[in-house]
Amino acid sequence: MRPVVTIGNFDGVHLGHRALLAAARDLGRRLAKTPGEPRRVTAVTFDPTPRDVMQPGHGIPQIQTLADRVRTLREAGADAVVVEPFTRELAGWSPERFADEILGVRLGARGIVVGWDFRFGHDRAGDAELLRHRLGVPVEQVGPVLLDGEPVSSTRVRRAVLAGDLDLAARLLDRPHEIVGPVVVGDRRGRTIGFPTANVRPETALLPPPGVYAVRAVLPGGELRGGVANLGERPTFGPGRGRLEVHLFDFDGDLYDAPLRVQIVARLREERAFPTLEALVTQIRADADAARARLVAR
């Protein structure tokens, strides 16, 4: 079964990327010879990203880990995800070679959907028109998706998260921004003051500013649980390694070594030090109440 293929970095799998997947599914329906013919959409992405290979040390954080990018692409409508290893050798391929060897021979593309600014191959010389002539299959180019009058892009998502504007980030992504990572052993101080926490070692590169956040966590079994989290250095207890500490409401299970996906819903306040442990506990109670209220409102 020859698939409709869509290509991109897909960092974040935001509204613009979802439009590509929707257009690919629609093209598959139109190319079907019979109404019940199975349709398949394949998303092609790259790891490392072309920027990581061609501009090492660029300092631009990825919105998602590779595993989360693949998972979200599948959730958004891709039947299969091909992760193409990006190398300097591949960067040197002509557009014709990339089209022939990867899209034509390897994937057998029945149709192709790309974004409005899509370019590929050596010196970014390839475009949608080259694919049409080279492969002889329908190639559709999707225009930019606008939000508040501006194109949705991975760059806008990064700026929103780094500025702590989680509402805008969620609108651009069509879901809350997530921080993922394993739960590791901490100093267990939270349990002694009545607020046990899951200490997450972030694998996600893109983090919002330090502070206290209303969150929802996706537990290993898929259950969604609300909570309040501190992202940063915990200044009350002195300097230390940055971490994400998540207190889950009404939860008393063991999450050590388990992967946790933490949806960052809203920023409640900045991170700050407190003069006494009692003052900290009072503030945590207030933060938990505020987080519950924000989560209910959403």
Catalytic residues: 245
DSSP-derived letter for residue 228 is E
Residue pair 18/77 in contact (Cβ under 8 Å)? The answer is: yes
Tokens representing residue 236 in the block: 């009350």
Contact, 84 vs 90, CB < 8 A? yes
Which residues, 6+ apart, have CB-to-CB distance to 72 below 8 Å? 13, 64
Handedness of CA 75, 76, 77, 82 (dihedral sign): negative
CB 81 within 8 A of CB 74: yes
Residue 97: exposed, middle, or buried by beta-carbon count in 10 A (0-12, 13-18, 19+)?
middle
